Amino acid sequence: MYAQMVKSEGMKSLEEMSPEERAFQERVDRNEKIEPKEWMPEGYRKTLIRQIGQHAHSEIVGQLPEANWITRAPTLERKAILLAKVQDEAGHGLYLYSAAETLGISRDQLTEKLLSGDMKYSSIFNYPTLTWADMGAVGWLVDGAAIMNQVPLQRTSYGPYSRAMIRICKEESFHQRQGYAVMMKMAQGTPEQKEMAQDALNRFWFPALMMFGPSDKDSVHSAQSMAWKIKMNTNDELRQKFVDETVPQAEFLGLTVPDETLRWNEEKGGYDFAEPDWAEFFEVIKGNGPCNEERLGARREAWDNGAWFREGLTAYADKAAARRAASNMAAE
């Protein structure tokens, strides 16, 4: 879940709505897709821009922790797989920025909001990747947690977002499998490799749980987003589902989930588990996580150092257009 703590506007009952708003809500309730040029409440548009923008930023900033190991990948095959994976994340960013653009905001505007700190990206990418096992843990846990949210979002009410999600989910589920394949190799490898694998799980477990956002009882924005079908499940539902699916996967690897309170609860048909440290989560969101400065710094550097490149291409395109116009004039 690459969109956390997305603020949405206050919620109205059907009676309080204007006729336009009511007709819109009824379309959403009938599971009709809303398309870019159709009427939509301003709050819906703004919330979607925040959510899709934050998701797009997460894909782009999310390239960095994994790109950190491309030049150190241990075999040619692993290097190719990791490169392809990080490239996919850039592609996801591209679809999502394009989806956001249909709502009337440009990619450059969104980028500037990211770089100025106006818009956020997922807290998870502010944690460092310290060993090769982290390439397994990130694919398995981080992409795994993201999919929990993104699979239901394939049915979201906004057409372009829904279609981007369908494509993204195909790639993300492949990423999760490749991450798990790395973990399997490590967990079945030498004692040092197994130690790296366990250490990666220890470090990424709670940050992965944080990806779903704070508990719903503390989440003020969920109800409106759920009514608009731009949020399909509550944070707690998704977190529970993630834990229930992931614990047996960790057991299969022979690794230990770093939670002493973890117990199967027969009655609810799911695990009881410890909450992540929410104080840490809010610190990371505020910009005080282990890698916030590096991550945003790398994005700013890429943007600033690339200015001459983008301007050069624009200038050439303008000149070429002028030349074409001149030669058309001459031909007439």
Q: Which residues bind other proteins (CB under 8 A)?
A: 60, 63-64, 67, 70-80, 83-84, 86-87, 90-91, 93-94, 97, 107, 132, 176-178, 180-181, 184-185, 189-190, 192-193, 245, 248-249, 251-252, 298, 301-303, 305-317, 319
CB of 161 to other proteins, least distance (A): 18
In the bound state with other proteins, the residue whose beta carbon lies nearer, of 63 and 156, is: 63
> Could you give phi then psi for residue 67, rounded to 5 degrees?
-60, -25
The position carrying tokens 């710094």 is 297
Least distance (Å) between residue 249 CB and other proteins: 5
In order of 36, 52, 81, 189, 293, the CA distances from 131 in angstroms are: 44, 31, 17, 15, 20
Burial of 165 (0-12, 13-18, 19+ CB in 10 A): buried
Closest approach, Cβ 97 to other proteins, in A, equals 7
Nearer to other proteins, 198 or 222 (CB): 198
Taking the least distance from each CB to other proteins, the nearer of 14 and 84 is 84
Q: How far apart (Å, rounded) are the C-alpha atoms in residues 48 and 35?
A: 13
Q: Which is nearer to other proteins, 283 or 294 (CB)?
A: 294
Question: In 10 A of CB 202, how many CB atoms?
Answer: 14
Residue 324 CA: distances (Å) to CA of 100, 313, 314, 330, 331: 32, 16, 15, 10, 10
Instruction: Find the shortest distance in angstroms from Cβ 174 to other proteins.
Output: 10
CB of 184 to other proteins, least distance (A): 7
Q: Which is nearer to other proteins, 85 or 229 (CB)?
A: 85
Nearer to other proteins, 12 or 107 (CB): 107
Is residue 119 within 8 A of residue 54, CB to CB? The reply is yes
Tokens read off for 124: 């998870």
CA atoms of 181 and 173, how far apart (whole Å): 12
Return d(Cα 271, Cα 268) in angstroms, integer.
Answer: 8
* C-alpha to C-alpha distance for 55 and 120, rounded to whole angstroms: 9
**Could you tell me the smallest distance in angstroms from the CB atom of residue 187 to other proteins?**
12
Nearest approach, Cβ of 271 to other proteins (angstroms)? 13
Question: Min. distance of Cβ 3 from other proteins in angstroms?
Answer: 19
Identify which of residues 18 and 297 has a Cβ nearer to other proteins in the complex.
Answer: 297
Of residues 5 and 73, the one with the C-beta less far from other proteins:
73
In contact, 183 and 134? CB cutoff 8 Å: no
d(CA 205, CA 243): 10
